[in-house]
Chains A and B, each alone.
Chain A
Amino acid sequence: MAKGFTLWFTGLSASGKSTLAERVRDILLERGMNVEVLDGDVVRQNLSKGLGFSKEDRDINIRRIGFVCNLLTRNDVVAIGAAISPYKAIRDENRRLIGRFVVVYCKCDLDTLKERDPKGLYEKALQGEIKNFTGVSDPYEPPENAEVVVDTAKEDIEASVQKIIATLEQMSYIPATDGRGYSEEEEESIKQRLRDLGYI
């Protein structure tokens, strides 16, 4: 049975892609899986060094990440892509290439992003110092077919991580944590409910 798949994070800068990618990686590693993260920032320093932020260059960058994710996926590795990937067509192209492909859309409103601005990029973009800045002066096409949507402005990191892991379990990309199905705490709540109705 195939074990590899690609978990593809998309969303604006500071929406939480890298943060969530790392958290999910750690959980999957702990569960004994082979995992690699291809983070946009890192890729642009090596695999895609020299590429800029024109539509053309962005597309090349995302295709390259997709290409590597595919190699990893077919070798039973969980490949995690974390790049803005603003264009739907290229994301869908990667989905077609890889097949076992799960999209996490990191949704976040602009006000929250500006407030976060961990790299000071929004401020610069708003003052016109950076051209082609996604969400400010460059387009972003939100996915309509994302398997998971996390709203990082509203939920905390833990909740977003939970959603992603739960979806991977539901879709059987990863085995559920516990063969018995429920944690001890959950079992207690279920017992209580069943008792309340006289079912046990």
Chain B
Amino acid sequence: MRFLRRRKRRACVVGLDGVPFHLLKRLADTSVMPRTAGIIAEGGLRQMRAALPPVSSVSWSSFMTGANPAEHGIFGFTDVAPDSYQLRFPTFGDLAVPTFWDRLGESGLRCTVINQPATYPARRMPGAIVSGFVALQLANSVWPAEHLPALERIGYRIDVDSQKARQDPDGLLDDLEATLETRRQAARYFWERERWGYFQVVVTGTDRLHHFLWSAVEQEDDPRHDRAMSYYRAVDGFIGELWDWFHKEQPAGQEGEGFVLLSDHGFTGVRQDVRLNAWLRESGYLHYAKDDPTSVADIAPGTRAFALDPGRIHVNVKGRFGRGCVEPEDARELRDEIAGRLLQLECDGERAIARVFTREEIFEGHKLDLAPDLVAISRNGFDLKGTTKGSEVCADTHFQGMHTWEDAFVWSRLPVPDEPEIADLAGGIVEWLCG
């Protein structure tokens, strides 16, 4: 008897940071992204919810673990130290559960992951990893380190220079293109050189473009519209290239199987910032010990609640925080009161908050202790902030775009639930590769 060895399955995941469902669809329909249009033509493109709060570190952590934030422990780009209220910045090491790449590794599959946000500093992987935002030095972003020289040769860029972006939008567009090109070269390098069963690359330039130049994306009469579209054309070319590489090695008749496109949150235009700490202060929940507070570490005793970016509100519970003053049994009532009042908050003559979730509604896991008591989601156009600067609640912003929660997207032939959330994808990918 002879057995035909079943060909090993492979998966290729392409992440587009901050690309909303409707935008992707429109760019595909209007032939700015013809390759993507071809891929999604036969259906399978779905709107998807980001994790809460909808920022890349949380959402991508949910993607890479398949877990709720209260399990993986990443609730934002920042946290506070419970005793000092000093901001701390979670690292890849703070991720409290294994990634699904680790699980694939245990099944003997090697993974290559490029530019996944929230994976800095890079650590041992069954395969290879290049960390994404907030990665600092390239040397600490690459595992195993043997790939470092190749990336240096490419002139690999982790991210665009966002500091310059505001003053120099054309420079940003140049930078976006150049950064994408090094990403493409890095992908090519790893594609050819690594034996992998799972390959993932994330494009983060889309998110940067949206933050600074959303109107160039959205408005045809914007002077930079053409350049924004040509960036999207380049992204589309990259997607097409990955698709072609992938299918070269794929048995016929399995078109698209194992190929996944997704974003980690949506985007929309921003009208005003809503400073939650200023609102908490105005509403009598928060006091500062200084005239010029630089962070929530400067709150005064008696503060009952404070906010962290983007819409996280912590009740200052006794026992949980160093200067906590709210009795644990009163926390719920206070929190519900704040939630109710928040929904009334107005900026520019309009309600600014769409929903306020309590921690029990959205979080579950062994890290629930660290979770905010409330997570507010704004209405489109109002960007929630955890800054302690400024006393006016509604303020102008120099950004053009802001994150949204409900309109990320996913395209995949793998089974995906009807109303998918980003954490749902990992299970399907593992099942398909190993099942």
Seen from chain A, the residues whose Cβ lies within 8 Å of a Cβ on chain B are 146-149, 151, 154, 159, 162-163, 166-167, 169-171, 176, 180-182, 186-187, 189-194, 196-200
Given contacts A194-B77, A197-B211, A198-B397, contact A181 B94 (CB under 8 A): yes
Q: Place the interface of chain B in its size category.
A: 35 or more
Tell which of A159, A170, A186 has the most Cβ of chain B within 10 Å: A170
Give the segment of B41-49, B136-144, B220-228, B336-344 that binds chain A.
Answer: B136-144
Chain B residue with minimal CB distance to A146? B146
Residues of B within 8 A of A180 (CB): 88
Please list the 7 inter-chain residue pairs (A to B) with the smallest Cβ-Cβ separation, ordered nearest first: A196-B162, A170-B123, A181-B91, A149-B146, A196-B163, A199-B77, A171-B124
Q: Judge whether A170 and B162 touch: CB under 8 Å.
A: no
Interface of B is mostly: loop
Given A146-B146, A180-B88; A171-B123 close (CB under 8 Å): yes
Closest chain A residue, CB of each to CB of B55: A199
Interface membership of B309, Cβ < 8 A:
yes
Residues in chain A near residue B159, CB distance under 8 A: 193
B115-135 with Cβ < 8 A to chain A: 121-124, 133-134
Given A147-B144, A166-B121, A198-B383: A182 and B89 within 8 A (CB)?
yes
Q: A-B pairs with CB below 8 Å: how many?
A: 78
Q: When A149-B146, A181-B90 are in contact, do A192 and B163 touch as well, CB less than 8 Å? A: yes
**Interface membership of chain B positions 308-323, coded 1 if the CB is closer than 8 angstroms to chain A and 0 otherwise:** 0110000000000000
CA distance A179 to B235 in the complex (A): 38
Binding site for A on B (CB under 8 A): 55, 77-78, 87-91, 93-94, 121-124, 133-134, 136, 139-140, 143-146, 149, 159, 162-163, 165, 208, 211, 309-310, 383, 385-387, 397, 399
Partner pick for A200 among B87, B122, B144, B163, CB 8 A cutoff: B87
Name the A residues within 8 Å of B78 (CB-CB).
Answer: 194, 199-200
Closest A-chain residue to B144, C-beta based?
A147
Residues in chain A near residue B143, CB distance under 8 A: 167, 170
Tell me the complex Cα distance, A176–B121, Å.
11
- What's the Cα separation between A146 and B91 when bound, in Å? 25
Q: Could you tell me the distance in whole angstroms from the C-beta of A189 to the nearest C-beta in chain B?
A: 6
How many whole Å from B418's CB to the nearest CB in chain A?
A: 31
Task: Point out the residues of chain A lying under 8 angstroms from B385, CB to CB.
Answer: 198
From A180, A181, A190, A197, name the one whose CB has the most chain B CB atoms within 10 angstroms: A197
Question: Which residue from chain B places its CB closest to the CB of A154 in the assembled complex?
Answer: B149
Contact of A193 among B122, B144, B162, B310 (CB under 8 A): B162
The distance from the CB of B221 to the nearest CB of chain A, in whole angstroms, is 25
CB-CB under 8 A from B397, the residues of chain A are: 198
Q: Are A197 and B89 in contact (CB under 8 A)?
A: no
CB distance from A9 to the nearest CB of B (A): 15
